[in-house]
Structure 1
Amino acid sequence: MLTSSIANEIAVDTTAIIGFNVLITDRDGIVIGSGDPERVGSFHEASVDVVRTQRAMSHDLAAARMLSGVEPGITLPLVLNGTAVGTVGITGSPDQVERFGRLVRNQTELLLRESVLLSSRLFREKAIEDLLRDIAHYDRETAEPALVLMRAAELGYDLRLSRVAVVVDVEASVEPTRMVRALRRVFDDPQDIIGNTGAGRFIVLSRKREALELDLGVECAVGIGGAASTVATLHDSYQDASTALYLAARLPGSDRVVHIDDLRVQELVASSAPHTRARFVRGMLGSLVDQNDWPVLRQTIIAWCECGFSLVRAAAELRIHRNTLVYRLTKIEELTGHGSRDARFVVKLYLACMADLLS
């Protein structure tokens, strides 16, 4: 609780402020911090009784000479949560330094409490990040779900509650603490689990299932997985959210927030081997890909399928006149030898276009 690094920092800074040497000991009277570095590691005998009685003691020159490692001054107990964790001493004539005693002790105890709280918070954040990594890298064949459930329960989370995984990617330069605070404003359920896994990636296991509008104050991309209520399905949800981000980055015109349920076709296409996709693209698209306006034709085929072969809806989706759409469809029919309402063929053409986009 009272570490040498914290004690030494406090002792050096306080010494510089008040002009008298300040030393801090642990419960056993060993000096662990001092404005005089030569005293660090020495034994301060007066501190033993101060810790035991939790009462301040002052020592003039005569009294100091009778104790090991003690110089004239005052020694006060450092008490946290009712327990003496060490002492703080001020070297000098007791009449001169006694007026600083209570002030220095109170300030030292305040700094120690803040340090303990910070350490506790950082420990919890690290434990949450470790939990999220366990879920992200969960292996059904080798991992034991009960252990993950237990670690989550120790942090106050019940992984049996339904959640969705949300993956947020930002620039690596964005300060993690700032992002976590911003995410907590959006994901405010006590059972929402939020953490940073490094390299600009943040994971949220959210109780929210509705569409999310994220205003985080930074440029970001957000992927959302499916609903889950077990360790294994939470892992799947995380994988789905990550896949949604991967696919969205390769599909033009994708939204900033993407849900895997809107990209299942693309996910299926992307899951096939690259050489298999390449053969499928060559076999289905043929001379279409050699056209100067192939990107426009590809966009037209995708919109035509996704709008249910409706001229009105597809033209509106593409933001073109209906006659322009008819011209494009006629060109596609001539190049492929199939009608634009031949559903079986056009659906295969649609999948080939998706494979081409993901190549």
Structure 2
Amino acid sequence: MQLNSTIARQIVERTMKIIKYSVNVMDSYGRIIGSGDPTRLHQKHDGAVLAINNQRVIEIDHATAQQLQGVKPGINLPIIFQRQAIGVVGISGEPDQVRNYGELVKMTAELIIEQAALMSQVEWNKRHREELVMQLINGSTLNESQLLVLAERLDLDLTQPRIATIIQVVQKNGESLSLENLQHLVHLLEYPERDNLVGITSVSMNEVVVLKPITVTAEGWSRDLEQQRVQKLLKRIAKEANYSIKIALGDHFPTLHGLAQSYLTAKATMEAVSHHTTHSQQVFFYQDHILPVLLHGLKNEPWRYQQLQTPLEKLKRHDQRGILFKTLSVFFEQNCDLAQTSEMLHIHRNTLRYRLDKIEQITSLKINNINDINRLYLAFLSQ
């Protein structure tokens, strides 16, 4: 830990609120880097050099001050951090008058330095945890040995099974997104401590990625437990925050390299479901949307996508009121069960049969033909 002008200024301002005398702070070279008298800044203080070299209190009277450079009468005390003198704090004035304040000022200075060192360590940990997350989800640049070394320094267990989760912040009341919102969300994800690895991947896209620890058994990872944890997070956000969130959870893949694949499934899930879900839905598991996720990329291959969508486009052109399209949608939602579909639509089964016949005529696809119905279903999912 090194003293700098920012910390020195804090020491001067805080101590001079306690005592009426001018306070100086010198670095390990004896240079004044903080002072109640700005004209003394950057001067070398011989009394501070003596205090550091001898690691003891140096009192200076008028006679001694005349023989030393950059010195006024006062008392100079070494600042100790982790058993080393890293600087000096001085109080200007007659030694007999300022002596009683010496230990108080020294203790205040050392507390400020300890606090600064702690905050610096916290920031270092935070920055490197985010760097670790970014490297883990970017599988192409993964250096496993380096990551394990970094994780050990951060006291993290990378052998713990994890899944990637993407969280997008949705602003309420049309307010603009702020970094404070994302930082608040990160705080909620990290505390109480659950060993989440959290990183803000994109402020502009209001996206946070979390590598969540999971419980893996012979039957696989515990989705129910993650569902419970997600619901707790949603409740905390609803209670504390002025924003809402959408969450996409990827699948579990073993090994560190699997985290990049888990991230891809979470990201693809978020992209795929954003066009097919209601505004009230907030949580999406990859396992629930595998087909839409896998089909989502078809839009990047126009001819394949166009071929797949052709039957639905025909249906939409001949179905101005959208009745047939809605019927088909409910039919798929009810797993092609005629009775349940009729009940959900509040229509007679014969009416449903008539509508399905019309869909067959328009699309030239047979509802009872497995290839045709699958083609129609995939077209519906890939919209």
TM-score of the pair, normalised by structure 2: 0.82
Distance in 1, matches of 2:370 and 2:331, equals 11
Q: Structure 2 matches for 1:192-231, cutoff 5 A? A: 192-199=196-203, 200-208=206-214, 209-210=222-223, 211=227, 212-213=230-231, 214-215=233-234, 216-217=236-237, 218-231=243-256
For residues 170-218 of structure 1, the C-alpha deviation after alignment (integer angstroms, 9 at most, x for no partner) is 15324344222211247x434x322333413222111124223232414
Alpha-carbon offset, residue 241 of structure 1: 1.1
Alpha-carbon offset, residue 40 of structure 1: 2.0
Distance in 2, matches of 1:312 and 1:19, equals 88
Cα 1:76–1:320, aligned 2, differ >3 Å: closer, same or farther?
same
2:277: which partner in 1? 252
1:6: which partner in 2? 7
Alpha-carbon offset, residue 345 of structure 1: 1.0
1:25: which partner in 2? 26
Alpha-carbon offset, residue 12 of structure 1: 4.1
Alpha-carbon offset, residue 33 of structure 1: 1.5
Alpha-carbon offset, residue 315 of structure 1: 5.1
Q: Which amino acid aligns with 1:248?
A: V
For residues 266-325 of structure 1, the C-alpha deviation after alignment (integer angstroms, 9 at most, x for no partner) is 12211223413542244322421212234x544443442343211344456xx4314375
2:162: which partner in 1? 163
Distance in 1, matches of 2:105 and 2:30, equals 18
Contact 1:74 1:90 in 2 (8 A): yes
Structure 2 residue 321 is matched with structure 1 residue 293: yes
Distance in 1, matches of 2:303 and 2:326, equals 22
Alpha-carbon offset, residue 224 of structure 1: 0.7
* Greater mean deviation of Cα atoms: 38-47 or 248-257: 248-257
For residues 217-261 of structure 1, the C-alpha deviation after alignment (integer angstroms, 9 at most, x for no partner) is 140111111113323210111111111111121213273111112
2:297: which partner in 1? 271
Contact 2:135 2:142 in 1 (8 A): no
Contact 1:21 1:91 in 2 (8 A): yes
* Greater mean deviation of Cα atoms: 326-335 or 88-97: 326-335
1:129: which partner in 2? 130
Alpha-carbon offset, residue 349 of structure 1: 0.7
For residues 81-134 of structure 1, the C-alpha deviation after alignment (integer angstroms, 9 at most, x for no partner) is 222211101112223323332222221211111111011000100001111111
SS class of match (1:203): strand
Cα 1:103–1:314, aligned 2, differ >3 Å: closer, same or farther?
farther
Cα 1:54–1:293, aligned 2, differ >3 Å: closer, same or farther?
farther
1:144: which partner in 2? 143
SS class of match (2:320): coil
Distance in 2, matches of 1:168 and 1:228, equals 19
Contact 1:167 1:241 in 2 (8 A): yes
Cα 1:3–1:165, aligned 2, differ >3 Å: closer, same or farther?
same
2:194: which partner in 1? 189
Q: Which amino acid aligns with 1:175?
A: N
Cα 1:64–1:312, aligned 2, differ >3 Å: closer, same or farther?
farther
Contact 2:327 2:345 in 1 (8 A): no
Distance in 1, matches of 2:64 and 2:352, equals 101
SS class of match (1:23): strand
How many residue pairs get aligned? The number is 349
2:69: which partner in 1? 68
Q: Which amino acid aligns with 2:307?
A: F
Distance in 1, matches of 2:245 and 2:16, equals 47
Cα 1:243–1:315, aligned 2, differ >3 Å: closer, same or farther?
farther
SS class of match (2:88): strand
Structure 2 gap segments, 5+ residues each = 172-176, 215-221, 238-242
* Greater mean deviation of Cα atoms: 153-162 or 69-78: 153-162
Structure 1 gap segments, 5+ residues each = none
When the two chains are superposed, the root-mean-square deviation of aligned CA atoms in Å is 2.5
Distance in 1, matches of 2:17 and 2:164, equals 51
Distance in 1, matches of 2:104 and 2:84, equals 19
TM-score of the pair, normalised by structure 1: 0.87
Alpha-carbon offset, residue 135 of structure 1: 1.8
Q: Which amino acid aligns with 2:100?
A: R
Q: Which amino acid aligns with 2:268?
A: T
Contact 2:308 2:375 in 1 (8 A): no
Contact 1:166 1:224 in 2 (8 A): yes
Contact 1:149 1:231 in 2 (8 A): no
Distance in 1, matches of 2:104 and 2:297, equals 67
